[in-house]
Amino acid sequence: MKQAASPLLLVPFTEVRHDQPDDCLHYEQVAVRGEEMDWTIPAHRHEALHQFQLLERGAVRGAIDGQSFEAEAPALLMLAPGSVHGFTYTRDVVGHQVTLPTATLRQLLGANSLAQSALGTSFVRSGAELAGADRECARTFATLGREFQSHAPGRVQALLAHATLLAVAFLRCRGEQEASGRAQALPDTLVRRYRALLEAHYRSPQALAFYAQALDVTADHLSRICRKVTGESALDLLNGRRMLEARRLLAYTPMPVAEVARELGYEDPAYFTRFFTRHVGDTPSGYRQAVAAGVRDAAST
């Protein structure tokens, strides 16, 4: 699905509809928002929110950060904060959707770098990839939905408990939980911790030394391990994450190039332009025009 280079719709938690004043998350049937939007959800992103979806019937096609996909039920979709996504559902779609603040999710899962990295990027799973996970998730979604509509004592605590089970089920479906059950190599663990830190700080002007110090290793050691595990240096991963966000902002918002630069911690817009051109192959303005003309896919990696 081609995404238009139009102003990006930001969805803060205060705009997610609440039924009760103590709502700590939001639950609704996928068809609720689908019917409102004539089954096509325009490109948008959630700031500081995670969203979990299960389709039990019907199908969806769309794009997440410029990557197109199609999925038929049963399907699981997890949308990470900042990930630009837009969907078109079939009119017979039946499913569930839960949205909760990322800060709440982190508290529920604890200081777990594996969970943070596994749930740090959006993903879609369907068909045989689910290996029965959709049935487990369907039960959890249904129970959570009933609790959301209830007025029973302990409602918030129950909702958070079900949300924890849901997040773990999605994490397992992605395959990360199976990996965590084995003795993990230290290099993999270090890279996961580094990626989790990147998600929290990539908008800041922090240099690589900041991340190395936070991880209690030298910058050279961090870069060596990142290259061994991913094929890219630690600095490459940092710059790549910043450039992904730059492409998102250029493709989906009318934000001036200088403002995009400041948003990502670059004080000198001219330096940002040179840096972006070297890494992406187009100037920021040229990239924006190419996306609008359909010559390039928006924010694809």
Q: Specify the pLDDT at position 118.
A: 74
Tell me the average pLDDT of the chain: 86
More confident residue, 169 or 177: 169
Question: Mean of the pLDDT values across residues 262-278?
Answer: 93
In 3D space, the residue among 111, 87, 113, 110 whose CA is nearest the CA of residue 3 turns out to be: 87
Cis peptide before 74 (omega within 30 of 0): yes
Token digits for 116? 């943070």
Q: Is the pLDDT of residue 165 over 90?
A: yes
Q: What number of helices (H) and strands (E) belong to the chain?
A: 13, 10
Give dist(CA 49, CA 47) in Å, integer. Answer: 5
The structure's pTM equals 0.73
Helix (H) or strand (E) holding 173: helix 155-173
With cut-offs at 50, 70 and 90, classify the pLDDT of residue 182: very low
Calculate the alpha carbon distances from 74 to 5, 124, 149, 162, 232 in Å. 31, 11, 24, 20, 35
Q: Considering only CA atoms, give the Rg of the chain.
A: 20
Q: Specify the pLDDT at position 291.
A: 85
> Where are the chain's structural domains?
9-180, 186-292
Q: E-assigned strands of the chain?
A: 9-10, 26-29, 40-45, 49-57, 59-64, 67-72, 75-79, 85-89, 94-101, 123-126
Count other C-beta atoms under 10 Å from residue 217's C-beta: 18
Do 9-180 and 186-292 fold alike per CATH? no
Q: What is the CATH number of domain 9-180?
A: 2.60.120.280
More confident residue, 238 or 82: 238
Q: Is the pLDDT of residue 104 over 60?
A: yes
Tell me what percent of the residues of the chain surpass a pLDDT of 90: 55
CATH topology of domain 186-292: Arc Repressor Mutant, subunit A (1.10.10)
In 3D space, the residue among 1, 61, 84, 40 whose CA is nearest the CA of residue 251 turns out to be: 84
Give 207-256 pLDDT, tens digit per residue.
999 999 999 999 999 999 999 888 999 999 999 999 999 998 998 888 99
DSSP state of 143: H
Give 14-45 pLDDT, tens digit per residue.
666 666 667 899 999 999 999 999 999 988 88
